[in-house]
């Protein structure tokens, strides 16, 4: 069957009219060097300055990506009156302190904060409150929403090509590279990987009523943690069930066994079926995601193709939605306030795994 075009599926993120708003980057790690800045350059965004606790690394990143100014400290960057948008790409345990300083700078109009939005829901709420009080537009870098296959699925759902959703799954069999700071925090998968999938379910279907989660340790991760391998079920009022399997073990794939590494998703509806394969777990990580879908009466699957991948292309979308919000005076597509529900789902997953019961999302929000 002939493929639907990527444009008809709206796989590309909307872009602002003004792409030259000065952006200040906080951080110089992989996610900045290999994702944020390559995506921004391709989109035509203007990264004006960078700062990092590792100044030599910041200089190297700036040289590679033609960032004009390297500040010696984050405070120097925050004081740079040329900066209108702040892109914070640091570990969660230091993010809130940067936001607390940033909201005191009247020249900063918008902040794109890395996920998770702080160490927990309470910190996320503090960040949202601080930005709202200061009149700063806060968006969150939940970049899986801008993976091409995920956006295409949203288009199919909105166009009723799948019909009423019955069962949806996201199945991650991948081996993430855990950051050194996670060893000190003692948690891994739910706040770092599952948060993408929980937010994706919310993007597709809205908020569930309950979540039930079960976790165990990952045999390969050699520091103390609980949430290495995570499974969870989201229950919706209309009967829809969303199931996530986040398997960071994947069998002994690093110990000599042939591997089967992937992230796939599947939406089954009354009228059709959509199946996606996200290329992030592949080699290279810039492998484009893929989609096949069909409705009742189709003789075979539609198989649209595109060149974009989750990493790094989706990162242009998360910055673009903030720039559009500033341009149009509206809420970002992934606003800080909306993201509180994703953070609440993560916290509910932890509580569910501890208390061995389904947790209402409303319970987490009322507790806060």
Q: Give residue-wise pLDDT tens across range 106-130.
A: 999 999 999 999 999 999 999 999 9
Ranges 114-123, 171-180, 198-207, 266-275: which has the least confidence: 171-180
| Percentage of residues in the chain having pLDDT higher than 90 | 93
Tell me whether residue 153 is in a domain.
yes
Tokens of 304: 């649209």
The number of beta carbons lying within 10 Å of the beta carbon of residue 343 is 29
| Percentage of residues in the chain having pLDDT higher than 70 | 99
Measured N-to-C along each axis, helices 195-205 and 336-355 cross at an angle, to the nearest 10 degrees, of: 120
- Read off the pLDDT of residues 12-34 as tens digits, 9 standing for 90 and up: 999 999 999 999 999 999 999 99
Provide CB contacts within 8 A for 69, sequence distance 6+: 48, 49, 50, 62, 80
Give the torsion sign (CA, 135, 339, 114, 44): negative
| Shared domain check, 351 and 216 | yes
Examine residue 284 and say whether the peptide bond preceding it is cis (omega within 30 degrees of 0). Answer: yes
Q: What is the pLDDT of residue 284?
A: 86
| Number of domains making up the chain | 2
Which has more pLDDT, 53 or 280? 53
- Residue 52 binned pLDDT confidence (cut-offs 50, 70, 90): very high
| Shared domain check, 150 and 115 | no
| Shared domain check, 179 and 60 | no
Tell me whether residue 10 is in a domain.
no
| Shared domain check, 165 and 119 | no
Find the Cα–Cα–Cα–Cα dihedral 230, 236, 241, 247, rounded to 10°.
-10
Find the Cα–Cα–Cα–Cα dihedral 203, 205, 209, 214, rounded to 10°.
-70
Coil/strand/helix, residue 259: coil
- Read off the pLDDT of residues 159-169 as tens digits, 9 standing for 90 and up: 999 999 999 99
Cα 69–78–94 angle (5° rounding)?
A: 110
With beta carbons less than 8 A apart as the criterion, state whether 337 and 311 touch. no
| Shared domain check, 122 and 38 | yes
- Read off the pLDDT of residues 278-295 as tens digits, 9 standing for 90 and up: 988 888 889 999 999 999
**Is 50 exceeded by the pLDDT of residue 37?**
yes
**Is 70 exceeded by the pLDDT of residue 213?**
yes
| Shared domain check, 134 and 190 | no
Tell me whether residue 4 is in a domain.
no
Q: What is the pLDDT of residue 280?
A: 86
- Read off the pLDDT of residues 229-256 as tens digits, 9 standing for 90 and up: 999 999 999 999 999 999 999 999 999 9
**Is 60 exceeded by the pLDDT of residue 103?**
yes
**Is 60 exceeded by the pLDDT of residue 3?**
no
Q: Which of 124, 72, 73 is nearest to 95 (CA)?
A: 124
Tell me whether residue 11 is in a domain.
no
| Shared domain check, 347 and 257 | yes
* d(C-alpha 8, C-alpha 298), whole Å: 18
| Shared domain check, 105 and 48 | yes
Strand locations in the chain, DSSP E? 22-26, 46-51, 69-71, 85-88, 110-114, 137-141, 165-173, 210-216, 229-235, 241-247, 262-269, 272-278, 290-295, 359-360
Tell me whether residue 8 is in a domain.
no
Tell me whether residue 364 is in a domain.
no
Q: Supply the range of the domain harboring residue 82.
A: 22-144+316-333
With beta carbons less than 8 A apart as the criterion, state whether 247 and 175 touch. no
Tell me whether residue 221 is in a domain.
yes
| Shared domain check, 255 and 157 | yes
Phi, psi values for residue 262, rounded to 5°: -170, 165
The residue-averaged pLDDT of 152-163 equals 97
Q: What is the pLDDT of residue 13?
A: 96
The number of beta carbons lying within 10 Å of the beta carbon of residue 72 is 11
CATH number at residue 325: 3.40.50.720
Q: Share the mean pLDDT of the chain.
A: 96
Ranges 64-78, 275-289, 348-362: which has the least confidence: 275-289
| Shared domain check, 157 and 50 | no
Q: Residue 350's Cα: distance from chain center in Å?
A: 19
* d(C-alpha 263, C-alpha 245), whole Å: 10
- Read off the pLDDT of residues 291-348 as tens digits, 9 standing for 90 and up: 999 999 999 999 999 999 999 999 999 999 999 999 999 999 999 999 999 999 999 9
Tell me whether residue 35 is in a domain.
yes
| Shared domain check, 150 and 100 | no
CATH number at residue 190: 3.30.360.10
H helix runs in 186-313, sequence order: 189, 195-205
**Is 80 exceeded by the pLDDT of residue 2?**
no
| Shared domain check, 266 and 180 | yes
**Is 60 exceeded by the pLDDT of residue 1?**
no
């Amino acid at each position: 069957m002939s493929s639907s075009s990527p444009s008809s599926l709206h796989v590309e993120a909307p872009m602002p009219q003004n792409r030259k708003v000065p952006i200040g980057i906080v951080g110089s790690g992989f996610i900045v060097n290999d994702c944020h800045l390559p995506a921004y350059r391709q989109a035509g965004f203007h990264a004006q300055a960078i700062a990092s606790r590792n100044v030599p690394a910041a200089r190297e990143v700036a040289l590679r990506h033609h960032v004009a100014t390297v500040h010696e400290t984050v405070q120097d960057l925050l004081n740079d009156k040329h900066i209108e948008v702040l892109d914070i790409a640091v570990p969660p345990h230091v993010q809130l302190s940067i936001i607390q300083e940033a909201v005191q700078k009247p020249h900063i109009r918008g902040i794109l904060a890395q996920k998770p939005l702080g160490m927990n829901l309470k910190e996320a709420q503090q960040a949202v409150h601080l930005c709202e009080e200061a009149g700063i537009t806060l968006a969150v870098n939940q970049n899986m929403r801008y993976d091409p296959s995920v956006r295409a699925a949203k288009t199919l759902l909105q166009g009723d090509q799948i019909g009423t959703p019955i069962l949806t799954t996201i199945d991650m069999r991948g081996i993430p590279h855990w950051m050194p700071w996670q060893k000190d925090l003692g948690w891994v998968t739910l706040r770092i990987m599952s948060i993408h999938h929980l937010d994706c379910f919310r993007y597709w279907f809205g908020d569930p009523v309950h979540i039930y989660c079960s976790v165990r340790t990952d045999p390969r991760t050699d520091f103390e943690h609980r949430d290495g391998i995570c499974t969870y079920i989201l229950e919706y009022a209309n009967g829809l069930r969303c199931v996530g399997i986040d398997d960071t073990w994947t069998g002994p794939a690093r110990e000599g066994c042939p591997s089967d590494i992937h992230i796939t998703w599947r939406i089954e509806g009354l009228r059709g079926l959509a199946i996606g394969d996200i290329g992030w777990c592949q080699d290279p990580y810039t492998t484009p995601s893929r989609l096949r879908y069909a409705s009742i009466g189709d003789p075979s699957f539609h198989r649209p193709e595109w060149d974009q991948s989750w990493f790094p292309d989706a990162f242009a979308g998360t910055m673009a939605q903030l720039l559009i919000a500033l341009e149009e005076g509206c809420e970002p597509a992934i606003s800080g306030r909306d993201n509180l529900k994703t953070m609440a789902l993560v916290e509910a997953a932890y509580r569910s795994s501890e208390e061995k019961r389904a947790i209402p999302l409303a319970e987490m929000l009322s507790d806060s």
